[in-house]
A = this chain, B = another copy of it.
Amino acid sequence: MIPLQSHPSGRHFLQIPGPSNVPDRILRAIDNVTIDHRGPEFGELGKAVLAGMKKIFKTESHVVIYPASGTGAWEAALVNTLSPGDHVLMAETGHFATLWKRMAERLGLHVQFMEGDWRHGVDPAAVTAVLRADTGHRFKALCVVHNETATGVVTDVHAVRKAIDACGHPALLMVDTISSLGSVDYRHDEWGVDVTVSGSQKGLMLPPGLSFNAISAKALQASETATLRRAYWDWHDMLAINPRGYFPYTPATNLLYGLHEALEMLFEEGLDNVFARHKRLAAATRAAVQAWGLDILCSDPAQYSPVLTAVVMPQGHGADAFRATVLQHFNMSLGQGLSKLSDRVFRIGHLGYFNELSLCGTLAGIEMGLSLAGVPHRQGGVQAAMTMLADTAHSSQEGQSGSDDVKRRA
């Protein structure tokens, strides 16, 4: 048997910023017999999930689905659109932006990395400044992370788009929404994004193993002349056969079952309700952190993430020892600080299949853990979150007509 049972009793709280808690409905969907990936039933499945993902990305253009982690979809975005030696502008919002930048370099691209303090999103003004100076249109693409999973900071992608347009610069806009898609409003077409990268294990509530590219017409055109070598990640093989619901190589059938179910769940709740739920739970989380007297890593309240909150440890107290205390005593996993934030922050995931009481349990585990680990803080974080949640309980239900009725699914 799988070694999954190290804790004495009760449900584990998986409060890392992804993978998020996978709902039973999705696990059960995945637990269906594998079918012929070239048979007629599969074609229906393939068409359904491709169509559903377009709605999620809010695009009428193309979406491809890879049997791969999000890292693979990063690579796909780059190798389909760029050529060796191309210049790319990227923005240092945190650990994941940095990883994407390193990947670009390994693939033979020249990256100009706009420095950041890991507490802010991308500054559209800075983008304007760089691109305006790039009169020769050396930069073929600008790559930004929508929701920096390492820091809990959201970049205003629409503003970035406007910044590019303000310069009349032809660079492709590529956006990583791995930890935001399905949790934070995102509009591939309306915001003029050329390639959007995403993954399955965050707002889509799936286990890891699927990743995505949404592709604008302009990006597709760029792929015609791009010469970075590609095979597995090639869009054209995908797009040639996807319309019939099939894939050029064996797809991850059972994860696609899960994706089908996830899409049904998201559309049943309504995307706007999903986004509002994430915002409200995030606000309650921050109310708790502030009540504890701890610092939120994100410096700009306008950029607070609805997906996760990174909390800065008081000087002299390690985040990892604290997280270990919480795991040992309260059966909860919190996100670690990554690279230069290692041991300095912990991250609270409040995304995906999640609700008020699970959040209160999460915050209680943190507040008790702070006590047990001897981390200086004020009591009252859970209380503050509860007050906020109770105060907003009514309005949060208003948008959901019939939410207290029993709705049949089929």
Contact = CB atoms under 8 A, between A and B. Distances in A.
A365 to B, nearest CB: 5
How big is chain A's contact interface, by range?
35 or more
A315 interface: no
A41 interface: yes
A114 to B, nearest CB: 21
A19 B6 contact: no
Contact of A31 (B6, B31, B354, B406): B31
A228 B108 CA distance: 10
A208 B1 contact: no
A22 interface: yes
Nearest to A408: B3
A75 interface: yes
A386 interface: yes
A269 B68 contact: no
Contacts of A135: none
Contacts of A382: 360, 364, 382-383, 386
B364 A357 contact: yes
A367 interface: yes
Interface stretch (A54-62, A155-163, A253-261): A253-261
A319 to B, nearest CB: 13
A190 interface: no
A364 B361 contact: yes
Contacts of A231: 71, 75, 103, 106-107
A21 B6 CA distance: 19
Contacts of A228: 229
Contacts of A70: 249-250
Which of A72, A231, A327, A332 gathers the greatest number of chain B CB atoms within 10 Å?
A231
Contacts of A268: 5
Contact of A44 (B3, B30, B248): B3
Interface stretch (A10-18, A87-95, A121-129): A10-18
A230 interface: yes
Contacts of A354: 9-10
A201 interface: yes
Interface stretch (A215-223, A305-313, A396-404): A396-404
Given A10-B353, A357-B365, A39 B327 contact: yes
Contacts of A332: 357
B251 A69 contact: yes
A25 B1 CA distance: 10
B353 A360 contact: no
A240 interface: no
A43 to B, nearest CB: 8
Contact of A368 (B331, B364, B371, B390): B390
Interface of A: 1-14, 16, 18-19, 21-25, 27-41, 43-45, 48, 66-72, 75, 84, 103, 106-108, 199, 201, 207-209, 228-232, 234, 248-255, 257, 260-261, 264, 268-269, 273-274, 277, 327-333, 336, 353-362, 364-365, 367-368, 371-372, 379-380, 382-383, 386, 389-390, 393-394, 397, 400, 403-410
20 contacts: A2-B29, A4-B45, A8-B273, A8-B355, A10-B356, A10-B357, A21-B34, A28-B28, A35-B333, A38-B336, A40-B406, A68-B68, A69-B249, A70-B250, A331-B355, A357-B364, A360-B364, A360-B382, A361-B361, A368-B389
Pick the 6 closest A-B CB pairs, nearest first. A10-B355, A360-B364, A361-B361, A209-B252, A31-B31, A357-B361
